[in-house]
A and B are shown apart, each in its own frame.
Chain A
Amino acid sequence: MSVRVEAPAAAGTEERIITVWQGRVRMRVVSKGRGPALVFFHGPWGLTWDPFLDQLAESFTVYAPDHPGTTPEAHDDVYHLDGLWDLVLCYDELLETLGIRNAAFVGHSFGGMVACEVAASYPDRVRRLAMIAPLGFWRDPDRIVNWMMLEPGALRAHIFRDPDGDAARRMFPRSDAQDAAATAARVRLMWAMGTTGKFIWPIPDKGLKKRIHRVKAPTLLVWGREDRLVPAVYADEFTRRIPGARVQMIDGAGHAPHLEQTTPVVGVLRDFLAQ
């Protein structure tokens, strides 16, 4: 069993392993850039240093931590965490260790929910909060499809507006590919879904509605107009609970607008976060 399943390091990035939780949880943090600190919380499909983060790094010092369990060689560390409260405390310890007192938070999907939970628990840690299609709420009439139960083809079609586009092809290996890289990519995807799923199964509403009123930071929601996984109606759940929060819809995108419409999303975020 010697398949290497780490994502390849991207040019110009730095990697550090931060150990939290009494030494039991190791979290890799990939960073790059100059300027004010920005923490990026990745979604259920793991962290990839992509053009989106690269463009953000032109204006900010981007810190992108791995969700516990998705750090290479530290897969089982996630078993030391029992629930969302443990996870939020881990992030507090991580930021403390990185020396980040106060930063812009950007989170996608599951990571958007985590960013919001950290912002509600530690309001002073967050300067501005931007969430891209975040999870965290549940509406019976607008049930969120359990992406963890979808076949790879259906999963692509739920994440991306164009399941055959470049962004989708970067996340998913070709279905017929059996080489080591494709295997590694499949393992990475499954394990990222499993380790993030641990905190939201079977319904991604874990009580954010009770805590979200504590968020103090100016807040922006970014949503793909054709999001088939977390419908854009969920933006209302955030805007009606966070005073002054506003929504930016992105045309030509599904659940990962920052991957399908990178330049417009980076532009929106840069404008919002630079204020």
Chain B
Amino acid sequence: MKISAFHLMPYRELPADFEQRYESVWVTPPWWELADARRVGQYYNWTLDELTYAAKCGFDGVCTNEHHQNAYGFMPSPNLMGSVLARATNGMDVAIVQMGATLPTSNPPLRVAEEYAMLDCISGGRLVAGLPLGSPMDVNLCYGITPMEHRERYREAVALTLKAWQAREIFSWNGRYFQLATVNLWPRPIQQPHPPVWIPGSGSISTFDFAVEHDVCYCFLSYSGARSAKTMMDGYWRVVAEKGRDANPYRAGFLQLVVVAENDARAEEKYARHVEYFYHKCLHVPAMWFSPPGNQDYRSLVATMSNPVRRAENPKNLRYRDFVEKGFVIAGSPATVRDRLKEEVIKSLRVGNLMVLLQIGSMPHELALENIELFGREVLPGLRGIWDDEGWVNHWWPERLRQRAVPMPAGVAAGGT
């Protein structure tokens, strides 16, 4: 197993009546009414400290991601954060998992190829290159990309990125959305032929196909826990089999919210309000915004409209105990958390690359550190060996970090501390 600490960098102090007073946490929350730049500076530093602490606590990787114009998670440039983390973790066997910079919002997308190559160089070859499509809120609403062109731009940008990393000769790219006469990337990544690629998704069939065709790791980023992801992930594994790929569990990633305490009751006391803050405020977005007209292709649109999956339960009607009971959040003592993660998530979904969100909603810095420390000390060691007996190789992890015991190559991390 590889287990990484994920961070959204949410605004931690939204008003109690936020979801009644404002239309959305995304796109339109008014900065001047809600936020304070000095406070936000503190959040960014806390976020970096929390992820660096996770690295010290034995996590295999640290994850950042890109979102825009929101209070739910606002690292508009995850590579700025990743760069600090790469530097701060030099000398440690920790992957820099960028989940990541969104290609359709970068013009030309070569910028992402360059920055990822920089991160791979700075980190000594520890980059995991997440290539997300980006949410409609970010890409269509905030960055003005036409919904109908979103996926086409993404696919062209992925092809360009992979070629730019690997091409031995200077090449020209005469694409539909991007035209570049002289592509000659400086720098190139250390990892050859290119850093491992993860593609995050939220269950769309076309993303499954794309991930399997490209032989990359598909990561289901869900806030609804493993039980509601089961059908989706079974579908993913079916596609993997149909396309003749092996059942290597490291082909799959999953994001899970986790809170750990001395015992189950203490977990509720410590974390309940932060979990509710996350589901009630941080996910407060009008449903239409997740799927603007044209974003889904016609085939998917007909499928969605014809079989409306019973609308996922409105999380605003749920409380902490519901979230825990349904597995949206895995909470409790180290033993409870370990057992549930092992059975409900890792085994049931067949996941080799687990990401855990440990700073949740309004959770303050000190409490986040506690959660990270306890998970690292009491939970993580019991999960790490889960797939070992099956003998799979995690091709989607930086090669030099696949066996943690291997010492650092001399020189790579020079000056890194």
Q: Interface on A for B, CB 8 Å cutoff?
A: 1, 3, 5, 75-76, 78-79, 82, 148-151, 178, 183, 186-187, 190-195, 197-198, 201-203
A182, closest chain B residue (CB):
B305
Contact flags (1/0) for B157-194 with A, using CB distance below 8 Å?
00000000000000000001000000000000000000
A sample of 26 inter-chain contacts (CB < 8 A) reads: A1-B302, A3-B305, A82-B176, A148-B147, A149-B141, A149-B289, A149-B292, A151-B286, A187-B301, A187-B302, A187-B305, A190-B293, A190-B301, A191-B293, A191-B301, A194-B147, A194-B148, A194-B293, A194-B294, A195-B148, A197-B146, A197-B294, A201-B144, A201-B146, A201-B147, A202-B146
Contacts of B414 in A (CB 8 A): none
Give A274 Cβ to nearest chain B Cβ, in Å: 37
A216 to B147, CA, bound (A): 35
- Chain B interfacial residues counted at CB < 8 A: 27
Instruction: Tell me which of B141, B146, B292, B303 contacts A1 (CB under 8 A).
Output: B303
Secondary structure at the A interface, as helix, strand, loop or mixed, is: helix
B149 touches A198 (CB 8 A): yes
Does B140 sit within 8 A of A, measured CB to CB? yes
Give B164 Cβ to nearest chain A Cβ, in Å: 23
Contacts of A82 in B (CB 8 A): 176
Instruction: Among A78, A82, A149, find the residue whose CB has the most chain B CB atoms closer than 10 A.
Output: A149
B294 touches A5 (CB 8 A): no
Contacts of B141 in A (CB 8 A): 149, 202
Instruction: Among B140, B152, B303, B308, find the residue whose CB has the most chain A CB atoms closer than 10 A.
Output: B140
Does B299 sit within 8 A of A, measured CB to CB? yes
A178 to B42, CA, bound (A): 49
Contacts of B176 in A (CB 8 A): 82
Does B298 sit within 8 A of A, measured CB to CB? yes
- Taking CB atoms and an 8 Å cut-off, the chain B residues in 241-271 that contact chain A are none
Instruction: Tell me which of A150, A191, A201, A203 contacts B298 (CB under 8 A).
Output: A191
Give A249 Cβ to nearest chain B Cβ, in Å: 30
Instruction: Among B148, B292, B293, B301, find the residue whose CB has the most chain A CB atoms closer than 10 A.
Output: B293
Does B37 sit within 8 A of A, measured CB to CB? no
Give A65 Cβ to nearest chain B Cβ, in Å: 19
B177, closest chain A residue (CB):
A82
A186 touches B144 (CB 8 A): no
Contacts of A191 in B (CB 8 A): 293-294, 298, 301
Contacts of B348 in A (CB 8 A): none
B291, closest chain A residue (CB):
A190
Contacts of A76 in B (CB 8 A): 297-298
B305 touches A79 (CB 8 A): no
Does B202 sit within 8 A of A, measured CB to CB? no
